[in-house]
Structure 1
Amino acid sequence: MLTLLLFLFAASAAVASVDTTCGLNVLGSLDNTKVNKASYALVYVLSCTLGGAVTGLAIGGINYLLSLTPLNTSYNAIIIIMFAVFILLELFNKSGLLPAGNFIVPSEWIRQAGYRSAALWGHILGMGFITLQAGVLFHAYVLLSIFAPAWWLSLLAGICFGFVRGTVFSLPLIRSVVHMLLEKRWLKRTLLSAVRLVVSYVLLTGSILWILLS
């Protein structure tokens, strides 16, 4: 069960990350790059996947150390409590209280989008924790990865996060949908943010109920 939730949240967090300044800048760089767009996207996706693998391996180390302690008998309870906290943070618009990076992508990476910037940008965004994240889905993914049934699942989840994040930003169809959602507003938010919030509530609440009923 936790394995399925882990990969579900890893993919969801990767998709939700488009609702950030860095995510939107990536979309712009892909649209404006002067090099071959397909090659640019490939370099970005591969680098993003590598970045996710680095984070996944680091979390896997923590996972392995925790597996040696008695704490592993309390994983479900910890996840339920933290997911409830995440829901409250989203409800009160306080997700910014959670730890997050604040790396700002240099403007020249956007103006001069080439293979080097694609590789650097991809690796940084694939790692996830260096840049700001939208909402709590990334933190939910990290929490589940820490408590994954095996350390190598944390590695695979990191690869999944990086690959999905890179791929989502590289697909023209996704870019057009994102731009469309940004142009519409709902309850003082962009439709993009509103959709992300609804998905977050559904995933977090559904996961709590699933764990309780299992």
Structure 2
Amino acid sequence: MLSMLLFIFAVSAAVASVDTTCGLNVLGSLESTKSSRSKYALVYIFSCALGGAVTGLAIGLINFLLKLTVVDLFQNYILVVLLALLLCVEFVHKTGILPSGNFIVPSEWIKHAGYRSAVLWGMILGLGFITLQVGVLFHAYILVSLFAAPWWLSLLAGAIFGIVRGTVFSLPLTRSIVFRMLEIRVRNLTLLSTVRQAASKLLLIGSIIWIIFY
């Protein structure tokens, strides 16, 4: 059950990350790169997957250690409480209080987008925790990853997070949809942010119910 939730949150967090400054900069760099866009995208996706796998491996090691403690006996209760807290934070729009990186992509990487910047950018965004995260889905993914067993699932989920994050930013169809959603306003938010927030709340509510009644 937790294994399925892990991959759902990993993919969801990767897709949601397009609604960030870093995500939008990647979209812009793909539009302006003088390199082959397809090769640039492949380098970027591979690097993202590698960065995600590194984070997944680190979480997997912590996961392994937690299985050796009494925390393992109460993991479902802990998860429900922590996911409920994330849900509350999302509802009151205070996600900025959650731990997040603050790496700012150098402007040169955007103006001179080449394979070297694709590797660096991919690794950094694949790692996840270095850059700013919007909403709570990335934090939910990390929490579930800490408790899902066996430990190597965290490694696999991290790689998938990176692949999906890189692919979402790289597909021409995705870029056109994202740009269109950014042009539509829903009150004081873009349609992209509105959809992301609604999906986050539904996923968290569904996950909490699933863990309690599984």
With the length of structure 1 as denominator, give the TM-score of the two structures.
0.99
Aligned residues: 214
Q: Which residue of 2 aligns with 1:88?
A: 88
Equivalent position amino acid for 1:191 in 2 = L
Residue 30 of structure 1 is matched in structure 2 by 30
Cα distance in 1, alignment partners of residues 178 and 95 from structure 2: 22
Aligned pairs for 1:122-133 (under 5 A) are 122-133=122-133
Q: Distance in 1 between matches of 2:83 and 2:60?
A: 21
Distance (Å, rounded) in 2 between the aligned partners of 1:83 and 1:11: 17
Aligned counterpart, 1:140 = 140
CA RMSD of aligned residues (A): 0.5
Detail structure 1 runs of 4+ shifted over 4 Å in the superposition. none
Identity of aligned residues (%): 65
State the Cα distance separating 1:2 from its structure 2 match: 0.3
| 1:187 Cα deviation from its structure 2 partner | 2.4
Aligned counterpart, 1:193: 193
Give a deviation string over 1:57-102, Cα, whole Å, max 9, x none.
0001100110110110111111111111111111111111111000
Structure 2: which amino acid aligns with 1:36? S
Partner of 1:55: 55
Correspondence 1:162 to 2:162: yes
**TM-score, normalization: structure 2?**
0.99
Mapping of residues 64-79 of structure 1, within 5 Å: 64-79=64-79
Distance 1:161 1:74 in 2: 27
Q: Which 5+ residue runs of structure 1 have no aligned equivalent? A: none
Amino acid at match of 1:23: G
Unaligned segments of structure 2, at least 5 residues: none
For residues 145-184 of structure 1, give each alpha carbon's deviation from its aligned partner in whole angstroms, at most 9, with x where no partner exists: 0111111001001001001000110100000000000001
